[in-house]
Chain A
Amino acid sequence: MSETTSFFNTPSPPQLKGIWAWLLTQDHKRLAVMYLWAVMFWFGIAITIGFLIRIELMSIGPTIMGPDLYNAAFTLHGVIMIFLFVIPGIPAIFGNFILPIQIGADDVFFPKLNLLSWYLYMAGGIMALVSLFTGGGFPDTGWTFYVPFSISTSHNVPLTVLAAFTLGMSSMLTGLNFITTVHRMRIKEMGWMQIPLFTWALYATAWVQLLATPVISITLLLIIFERLFSIGLFDPDKGGDPLLYQHLFWMYSHPAVYVMILPGMGVISEIIPTFSRKAIFGYKAIVYSSMGIAIAGSLVWAHHMYTSGMSDTAIFVFSLLTFLVAIPTAVKVFSWVGTMYKASIEMTPPLLYAMVFIYLFSVGGLTGLVLGAAGTDIHVHDTHFVVAHFHFTMFGGTGFAFFAALHYWWPKMFGIMYDFKRAYIAATLATVGFMFHYVPMFILGMMGMPRRYYDYLPQFSQGNLFAGIGGILLFIGIMLMLINLLLSFRKQEKAVANPWGGVTLEWSIPSPPPLHNFVAPPTVQDYPYDFSNVLQKAAAQHSSVNTEQKESE
């Protein structure tokens, strides 16, 4: 198999050379790699800002920054993490790379549109950068851009908003591409219930991206219109209703949290069966719960607004609906745990990250119910409890799923293997740091420490010190993980085509894949997670080793 030339050496279209072979490429794998570097760049910046925020909060009073800089810092941390890392992360990198291969296609349906999405992503990122240093100064509204502040602040909001708009376009076009690809490019033998779960998760995500993103587009456009023409659609003085802004904003941004988490769940649904050497428990249940989350997640946006002055009826209805989302989510967690039960588990770094994901995400999900219930939410609204909750879901969930995906597909993408020992140490360090970092925030939130202040009362100092120490550990752990991955380029330890014993189609082709993905036409198993062949091969290998040993004795 090693005779095939990898996509790194075959430009597409073929006449391109050098840097242009990357910048004008229509190959989904090259685009995925380009996304990878861009996303990691932003992740590095945002995690550093987050780290600085934590250092600031480690001791009382202004430590390393004042209130204005702090406002800008958490806005940037939020905007970059959400729009440039968490939303595009898994779909744009691993979706682009793996989705077409998993369904036996040689590319996505609209390769040129895919390239356009990448440019929109880069343009959005550059606009976000430029907005920092032009206009009235750092944007300081928080990532939610709530009116009236976003309309009245003199800081540079319009360009940041435009950046978010462009990034939304990019995410939407990626979704459009994936839906069409899944519908039209699947090999004929693959029915809907034979699609791997990662692709299913991306398909559900793509629908949310497609239908919810335009709502944020129009909302952000309205901010720009308001700033330019002061129409007054959200201004109570002129008859407007500022709450409607929040409705429109969360109509997108709540479904968007499922855009963030669903692909992560898809990654976990791939990793758990592979290293359990066992068919995934409840394949159909996971498929339906993905679609269920996508649908139910679009009905619950106003649970972010319990304390905003909404009607009591709305609070009741949205609280009730919010609890419904817990059902499909729990179905997935039970299925993963059920898959691992009595399985022949092989421990690897991706599996460790996946297991950490399940734990952290469960904590995040359960504390979400505390916030979903109107009574308790009013007590902890806008406190550090909320901050801890969404970091458990978005960072402990999507973030760790992203790390799991990095470790799982790294050998496939680059054809090289990283050092396991360092990966384990990094994962452990990051997890321990994570717990020390965010668990104190739950307690601080319960005690009443509000979010988004650079300073706090003396009774919160102990918790913040702990959180700071945890933050440092977490930061070191993640840096170690990234360095470990980068070091694999120097060591160049070749990875085989199927290092993990996976059964989805991407493991049937060389690592890294050739330009058109499949050397021989792919064959589809009746059931997507049928490990009988892998187990047979392992058993054969095992018995041959045994006989060799006996012979040598």
Chain B
Amino acid sequence: MSQEPQHLMSYTKLASVLFALLILTGVTVGVSYIDMGIYNVPVALGIACFKVSLVLLFFMHLKYEGRAIIVSFLSTVCFLAIMISFTFWDVAFR
């Protein structure tokens, strides 16, 4: 088996990712005090998605993984999206 050289994350890079994550947490809590009507949920979830992407890409090294892991991860997310959205064919039109 050939061994692909693996990417090494530096402390500073990890720390800056953590810093960004903490800022985003602050933002999402702060924004929650402002009432934006129907935009409340999309904004909160948008920030959450952004945070999750940071964790995935850097803490979990997804950015440096091979194609197999990236493609399969995206299909998992797609499957989850299908699970939720297709259920709404029923509940949204009942």
Q: Which residues of A (206-234) have their CB < 8 Å from a CB of B?
A: 207, 211, 215
Given the contacts A183-B68, A211-B76, A211-B79, A299 and B86 also touching, CB distance less than 8 Å:
yes
Which residues of chain B come closer than 8 Å to A310, judged between CB atoms? 90, 94
Identify which of B75, B76, B87, B92 contacts A247 (C-beta below 8 A): B87
Which residues of chain B come closer than 8 Å to A215, judged between CB atoms? 83
B93 within 8 A of A: yes
Interface string of A304-316 (1 = CB under 8 A from B): 0100001111100
Interface string of A292-326 (1 = CB under 8 A from B): 00000011011001000011111001100000000
A120 within 8 A of B: no
Identify which of B76, B90, B93 contacts A302 (C-beta below 8 A): B90
Interface string of A239-256 (1 = CB under 8 A from B): 001011001000100000
Closest to B94 in A: A311
A542 within 8 A of B: no
B15 within 8 A of A: no
Question: How long is the Cα–Cα vector from A211 to B83 in the complex, in angstroms?
Answer: 11
* Chain A residue total in the interface (Cβ 8 A): 22
B82 within 8 A of A: yes
Which residues of chain B come closer than 8 Å to A17, judged between CB atoms? none
Closest to A300 in B: B86
Q: Which residues of A (363-386) have their CB < 8 Å from a CB of B?
A: none
A184 within 8 A of B: yes
Question: How long is the Cα–Cα vector from A183 to B90 in the complex, in angstroms?
Answer: 38
Q: Which residues of B (60-88) have their CB < 8 Å from a CB of A?
A: 68, 75-76, 79, 82-83, 86-87
B11 within 8 A of A: no
| Best-surrounded residue of B68, B90, B93 (most CB of chain A within 10 A) | B90
Question: How long is the Cα–Cα vector from A215 to B79 in the complex, in angstroms?
Answer: 11
Q: Which residues of A (152-190) have their CB < 8 Å from a CB of B?
A: 183-184
Interface string of A455-467 (1 = CB under 8 A from B): 0000000000000
Question: How long is the Cα–Cα vector from A183 to B79 in the complex, in angstroms?
Answer: 21
Question: How long is the Cα–Cα vector from A317 to B90 in the complex, in angstroms?
Answer: 9
Question: How long is the Cα–Cα vector from A311 to B68 in the complex, in angstroms?
Answer: 38
| Best-surrounded residue of B68, B75, B89 (most CB of chain A within 10 A) | B89
Question: How long is the Cα–Cα vector from A301 to B83 in the complex, in angstroms?
Answer: 10
Interface residues of A (CB under 8 A from B): 183-184, 207, 211, 215, 241, 243-244, 247, 251, 298-299, 301-302, 305, 310-314, 317-318
Known: A215-B83, A241-B91, A302-B86. 6 other contacts (CB 8 A): A251-B83, A299-B86, A301-B86, A311-B93, A314-B90, A317-B86
Instruction: Give me 21 A-to-B residue pairs in the complex whose CB atoms sit less than 8 angstroms apart, sorted by A's number.
Output: A184-B1, A207-B75, A211-B76, A215-B83, A243-B90, A298-B82, A299-B82, A299-B86, A302-B89, A310-B90, A310-B94, A311-B89, A311-B93, A313-B89, A313-B90, A313-B93, A314-B89, A317-B86, A317-B89, A318-B86, A318-B89
